[in-house]
Amino acid sequence: MGIKVISKKIIDSTNDHAKRVLKKQPELLNDGFLVIADQQTNGKGTHGKSWYSKSSGGLYYSLGFIPKEFDFDSIESYHLKISKCIQHSIQRLTGVTVDIRYPNDLYLKNKKVGGILMESEMASGPIPKLDFLIIGIGLNINQTSFPTSLVDKATSIHLETNATYQKLKLVKPITKQLFQLFNHPVIES
């Protein structure tokens, strides 16, 4: 992909970093940009919940852009459509089918394996218009363990299949599908 990729070893939150980046470089929103981290110290979930992402085995990334099309009456359905994009990419890369739990969670064998967090800001005016959309994705790919408090609630694809995956191979197909979902041009490198 020809969009800017910002890669960090450790970061507070890919979504928060994406918001800081777009304040300094708003032009990146034209083509879109990615923030990818090996670990997050303050990973975020919906409703202020935290997302455990202190393991480098997970895929933590955020896509920031301005959608060419956005139906404000269908915000809830976007969660499901985004989940399906991720579900499809995981299945193609790993052969594993994850379950979608509305509105934004991905499960494998009744344990959470992924989540999505959408954040946006809107310009005021007579016609609603997004200033930006950030889609944060957290996927448990190659983790070999979780904190005791999460053992019964979370899993990784590795723990369920005993295979190791190249997690970054998910970024391009997921991002491409998300751009197509929002009718945003895909810029290939």
User: Span 3-31, mean pLDDT?
Assistant: 95
Alpha-carbon gap, residue 150 to 2, rounded angstroms: 37
Q: Supply 159's token pair.
A: 């723990």
pTM attached to this predicted model: 0.93
Statement: residue 189 has pLDDT above 70: no
With cut-offs at 50, 70 and 90, classify the pLDDT of residue 33: very high
- Please report the pLDDT score of residue 130 as a whole number: 86
Give the pLDDT band (50/70/90) at residue 159: very high
Q: What is the pLDDT of residues 82-121, one digit of tens each?
A: 999 999 999 999 999 999 998 889 999 999 999 999 999 8
- Bridge partners (DSSP) of residue 16 are none
How would DSSP label each residue in 15-71? HHHHHHHHHH-TTHHHH-EEEEEEEESS-B-GGG-B----STTEEEEEEEE--S---
Rounded to whole angstroms, the Cα distance separating 35 from 136 reads 9
Note the pLDDT of residue 117: 94
